[in-house]
Structure 1
C-alpha cells in the first residue's frame, strides 16, 4: 500500500506524463498460490489468472501479457475531460518468464517484462524496453529465492488494495503514495520538506533474497544500489517485508530506508533518508475479502514533516460479478505552508468498482472515485493536474479531483 510510488523516479514526476504502473507481482502473491494458505479464497482464484503468476508456475519459457483499454472521465474544479485510458485494471504489458531445472531442487529463473500504452502502442517508459522487470536468479525449495536486477521492492503486497494492480483508478497509489502537486511538478511526499521520498514499486540494480515459508511465515530482503558514482550512501533502498498466513488471515509488515537524490537543505546539499513503515491485514473467506493497512513516511531531516496513511478495503464477489471499494485517509504532522507557518495537510480518498467476467481471461469493469484535499493538501488523481491559483504556479487548495472509467481487458 503506502510507499507505492510508480517507478518513474525517486524524486519527481512531471504533470502531464502518465505515471507508470503501480505494482508488479510480489513474493506474497506467489506465496498464496504456492502454499494454498486459504481453504476458500477469492484472492487465490484472482491471482491465479494474472499472467505473470500463471507463467511463473511453469517450466521452460512462457510468454504472457495483458491488453487493457477503457474510456475515462476526469473532473476537478469545473475542468473536465474525456479520454481513452490504458490499464484501468491490468497494466497493458508483455513479458517473458523462463525457468530451468538444474537438479537437486535448484532452478534458474529469469523475467523480462515491458509495459506499454494500449491506446497508442508506445512504451510506458520512453527509451526503456523492459521497464517492469529485468532480473535473473536462483530458486531453491530449501534456501529460497535469490534475484538480481530490476524487480519489485520489499513492500506490502499489492492485493491489500482491492484495485491493487494498477496506477490508474486507485486512490491508494495517489493518496497513500503522496503524489503532491507543487509549482515544480508532482513530487512524492514533497509537502513534507526537502528530500522527502517514497518507496518505488520496483528498483533497478537490486538484490533480493526471499526465504522459504516455514509454518506460514516468510520474508523478503532487498538491497538496491543507487547506481550513481560518488553519491553516498551506496544504497537507494534497503528494505524487508515479512508475512504470516493462517487459514483466511494474511498479515504482513514492511520497513524500508529510501534515500533521496542530493537536495539543498539548511546544512548544505545532501541525500535524505526516509524511514517508511507499514503493516497490513487481509481476511479472505471466498465470499468476501476485507483488508486494512497503515503506513508512515518519516524523512530523517530536521524540520521535515511526517505522513501517515490508513486504508480499509472490501471485495464482494458472486458468480461472474465482483463489487470493490476502498477508503484511504492521509494525514500529516509538522508540515508548514509557503509562509513557514504550521498548516493542516490531509486528504480523504474513495474508490468504487464493479467487474463482470466474460471468461477466465476477459472482463468488463467500471470504476469511480475521488480525493478530497483539506488545508494545503494538493494530491492529484489519475495524473489529472490541479488548476493553478490565479497568477501563480501553485495549485488551488481545497480541490476534489474526480474520476470514472469503463473498460475491458484480456489476459494471455
Structure 2
C-alpha cells in the first residue's frame, strides 16, 4: 500500500512537470463604438449623406486567438498562434473563407537564436515600423492609417505561405525577414512576397525600418493567383475606386515596393515620433499606370495621468507618377483621448479629418478615411467615434 501511494505521488509529480512545460492561452480584444461620418456616398454611388452607425474595430480590429508554447529543453520551444478577426456588432468573421484570418502559424523559438515560424503572418513593415506610427498602436489605430493603408502599417493584409525569422535582442537591435511563396507551378513569382526589417532601442530612443516587396502577374482581378501570398479582401483599397473588387492594391500591380523608417523619443510621459513611408506601384492593373505614394507622419502621445492618454497625428501624403493625371495629395489630422478603467477595459473618443486635392476627374480626388465603409462625395471627410474596448 505504501509503495502504491509513493508511485501515485511520483506519477502526479511527473504529470505536473509535463503540464508546466507546455501552455495554451486564450486571448482577445473587443472594440466597438458609435461612429459619425459626413458626406458618405450611398451604395448606388449617389451624393453624400451623413451616417450614424455602430462600428467594430474603431481603433483596433476585434479578434480572439490561441497562443501556445512547449518547452523542448535547452532554451528551445515549439510555438504557435491562431488568431481570428470578427465583427462584434453581428458576430460575423472578418473573412468569409478563413477561420483564422489574421494569424495562423507554427514554429520554433530559441532564446539565443530567435524564432522561425511558418504560416499566415504579418510582414516586417507591420512588425518593425508600425509601432512607431499611431495607426499601428492602441493610441490611434484604424482611422489613423495613411490613405488607403497602402503601406500596410494598419495591418490590412497578412502574408500567406510565409516563412519568417525574427532575431533575439542584440543589445537593443532586432532583425527580421519573411518570404511568402506563390504556391503556383510555373509561376514562382506570381503573387509572392518578401520583407525585411530592423529596430533599435536605446533608453528613450526607438528606431525602426522596414521593406515589403510584392510581385504579381495578373492583369485583371479574375487572373489573381488566389493561392498566393496576398489574397485578402480587408481594408480600404484604391482598386475599390476603380472596380467593384477590393483586394490590396499591391496584389493588383505587377510589383509593389514599400519601405520606410521612423523614430520615437520619450520625454518622460510624452512620446513624440516621425514616420516616413513610400510605396511604388508598377503597372497597376487595367491601366498600366506606374505611381507612388509618400507619407510623412508626425505624432505625439501624452500620459496625462496613469489612466488618461492623449494622442494626435498629422499626415501629409502625396501620389506621383502617371496615375490618372495630376498629383493628388492628402492632409489628415487625427486625435484620440482614452480613459482606462483598468488594464483590460477602457473607453475612448477619437476623430479624423481628411482633405484631398487632385485634378478634376482623378479617381483619387475624393476623401476616404481608412475604416470608413465608403468614400466621401467631396474632397473632405470627417469621422468621429466613441468606443469601448476590452481585452481578455
CA distance in 2, matches of 1:168, 1:80: 23
Is 2:33 the partner of 1:89?
no
State the superposition RMSD in angstroms: 2.6
Q: CA deviation at 1:74?
A: 0.7
Are the structure 2 counterparts of residues 327 and 168 from structure 1 closer, same or farther at C-alpha, using a change threshold of 3 Å?
A: closer
Are the structure 2 counterparts of residues 248 and 127 from structure 1 closer, same or farther at C-alpha, using a change threshold of 3 Å?
A: same
Q: Within 5 Å, give how 1:278-289 maps onto structure 2.
A: 278-289=260-271
Which residue of 38, 50, 53 maps to 1:75?
A: 38
CA distance in 2, matches of 1:66, 1:170: 14
CA distance in 1, matches of 2:72, 2:190: 33
Is 2:260 the partner of 1:260?
no
> Which moved further from structure 2: 291-300 or 307-316?
291-300
Aligned to 2:311: 324
CA distance in 1, matches of 2:56, 2:311: 20
Aligned to 2:255: 273
Size of the aligned set, in residue pairs, is: 320
Aligned to 2:338: 355
Per-residue deviation, residues 233-266 of structure 1 (Å, max 9, x unmatched): 15621110111111111111112211235116xx
CA distance in 2, matches of 1:174, 1:218: 25
Q: CA deviation at 1:271?
A: 6.3
Contact 1:67 1:409 in 2 (8 A): yes
Q: CA deviation at 1:109?
A: 0.2
Contact 1:149 1:205 in 2 (8 A): yes
Contact 2:144 2:334 in 1 (8 A): no
Which residue of 111, 115, 131 maps to 1:159?
A: 131
Contact 1:87 1:168 in 2 (8 A): no
Aligned to 2:228: none
Is 2:61 the partner of 1:101?
no
Which residue of 239, 244, 268 maps to 2:200?
A: 244
Aligned to 1:368: 351
CA distance in 2, matches of 1:178, 1:153: 13
Q: Within 5 Å, give how 1:157-236 maps onto structure 2.
A: 157-165=129-137, 170-175=142-147, 177-178=149-150, 201-233=157-189, 236=192
Q: CA deviation at 1:215?
A: 2.1
Aligned to 2:274: 292
CA distance in 2, matches of 1:329, 1:171: 15
Aligned to 2:391: 411
CA distance in 2, matches of 1:278, 1:121: 36
Are the structure 2 counterparts of residues 256 and 284 from structure 1 closer, same or farther at C-alpha, using a change threshold of 3 Å?
A: same
Q: Which structure has greater helix proportion?
A: 2
Q: Give me the TM-score of the superposition, normalised by structure 1.
A: 0.72
Contact 1:63 1:97 in 2 (8 A): yes
CA distance in 2, matches of 1:299, 1:204: 21
CA distance in 2, matches of 1:356, 1:383: 24
CA distance in 2, matches of 1:73, 1:94: 26
Task: Give the SS at the match of 1:120.
Answer: coil
Contact 1:87 1:166 in 2 (8 A): no
CA distance in 1, matches of 2:389, 2:265: 27
Structure 1: segments with no counterpart, 5+ residues: 1-57, 180-187, 189-197, 265-269, 388-395
Task: Give the SS at the match of 1:384.
Answer: coil
CA distance in 1, matches of 2:138, 2:148: 14
Aligned to 2:85: 115
Greater C-alpha radius of gyration = 2
CA distance in 2, matches of 1:408, 1:327: 24
Per-residue deviation, residues 79-122 of structure 1 (Å, max 9, x unmatched): 11111011123322111000000001100000001111111111
Task: Give the SS at the match of 1:157.
Answer: helix
Structure 2: segments with no counterpart, 5+ residues: 1-20, 41-47, 221-251
Q: CA deviation at 1:163?
A: 4.3
Which residue of 373, 376, 380 maps to 1:400?
A: 380
CA distance in 1, matches of 2:335, 2:390: 21
Q: CA deviation at 1:71?
A: 0.5
Q: CA deviation at 1:124?
A: 1.0
Contact 1:171 1:370 in 2 (8 A): no
Are the structure 2 counterparts of residues 169 and 379 from structure 1 closer, same or farther at C-alpha, using a change threshold of 3 Å?
A: farther
